[in-house]
């Protein structure tokens, strides 16, 4: 396993909502306060976000969903590390 | 399994409310013993569940993201979603089948009937097919 660097000392932005600029720019997007509403819909645009990540071989780095625009993406949520299923 | 996603040119992202630090230790202590070299895809941290909330998978009372998975196409359109409560794991074969079907549809404009697998008959929607599906597709 390679030496992991912490490329994300700053907090990741979390959801990046379309109203600022449709799912792209990180500039000028305000931190999201209390977003509880589900916005994801099949047939609708994916909602961009930035999250801190651990990537094998690369260490810690912020990852944006829109980094992968133009590719097929499978986004999987799961309840927790070290659980059983 | 991951090799198959690579072959289909699919990027996999995994996300939970755990921190990136916990992800790293999980990878080192457990996942690398289940999968040689550990899981190769990025493990994202949704601390606070804000991302899960907008994707409709954040369980406020438990403070975790439940099992949700989303297929997103190259135009950034969500093509499929599946959400399960935590007790039951997913079926990657069905996920791969759906990715192949959506890729086929995108490439050909044809549509795929129930249970379609690559190589099986597809349907070409249009006036000529109305009332005639039974002639071409026999489940």
How many residues are listed for chain B in this entry?
A: 139
Residue of B17, B48, B41 lying closest to B27 (CA atoms): B41
- Predicted pLDDT of residue A4: 58
Q: List, as ranges, residues 75-94 from B with C-beta within 8 Å of A.
A: 76-81, 86-90
For the stretch B13-48, pLDDT in tens is 999 999 999 999 999 999 999 999 999 999 999 999
Q: Which residues of B touch A85 (CB under 8 A)?
A: 86-89
Residues of chain A with pLDDT under 50: 21-29
For the stretch B89-134, pLDDT in tens is 889 999 999 999 999 999 999 999 999 999 999 999 899 999 998 8
- Predicted pLDDT of residue A34: 56
- Across chain A, the runs of DSSP E, i.e. the strands, are 5-6, 14-16, 48-55, 59-64, 72-77
For the stretch B60-86, pLDDT in tens is 999 999 999 999 999 999 999 999 988
The distance of B132 to chain A (nearest Cα, Å) reads: 27
Contact call for B72 and A73, based on CB within 8 A: yes
- Predicted pLDDT of residue A29: 47
Exposure string for B39-48, b = 16+ CB within 10 A, e = fewer: bebbbbbbbe
Contact call for A54 and B42, based on CB within 8 A: yes
Q: Is A56 exposed, middle or buried (0-12, 13-18, 19+ CB in 10 A)?
A: buried
Local structure of B37: helix, strand or coil: coil
**Global pTM value:** 0.85
Q: List, as ranges, residues 36-65 from B with C-beta within 8 Å of A.
A: 37-40, 42-48, 50-57, 59-60, 62, 64-65
ipTM of the complex: 0.92
Parse chain A into domains and list their residue ranges.
Answer: 5-68
């Amino acid at each position: 396993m390679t030496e992991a660097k912490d490329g994300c000392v700053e907090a990741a932005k979390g959801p990046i909502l379309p109203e600022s600029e449709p799912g792209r720019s990180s500039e000028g997007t305000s931190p999201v306060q209390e977003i509880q509403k589900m916005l994801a819909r099949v047939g609708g645009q994916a909602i961009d976000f930035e999250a801190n990540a651990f990537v094998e071989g690369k260490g810690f780095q912020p990852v944006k969903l829109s980094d992968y625009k133009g590719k097929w993406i499978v986004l999987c949520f799961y309840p927790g590390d070290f659980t059983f299923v | 399994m991951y090799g198959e996603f690579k072959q289909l040119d699919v990027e996999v992202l995994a996300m939970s409310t755990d921190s990136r630090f916990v992800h790293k230790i999980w990878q080192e202590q457990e996942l690398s013993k289940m999968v040689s070299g550990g899981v190769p895809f990025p493990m994202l941290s949704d601390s606070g569940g804000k991302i899960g909330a907008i994707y409709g998978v954040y369980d406020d009372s438990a403070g975790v993201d439940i099992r949700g998975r989303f297929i997103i196409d190259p135009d950034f359109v969500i093509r499929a979603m599946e959400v399960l409560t935590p007790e039951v794991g997913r079926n990657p074969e069905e996920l791969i089948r759906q990715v192949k079907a959506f890729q086929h549809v995108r490439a050909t404009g044809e549509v795929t009937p129930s249970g379609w697998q690559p190589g099986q008959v597809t349907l070409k929607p249009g006036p000529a097919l109305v009332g005639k599906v039974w002639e071409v597709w026999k489940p």
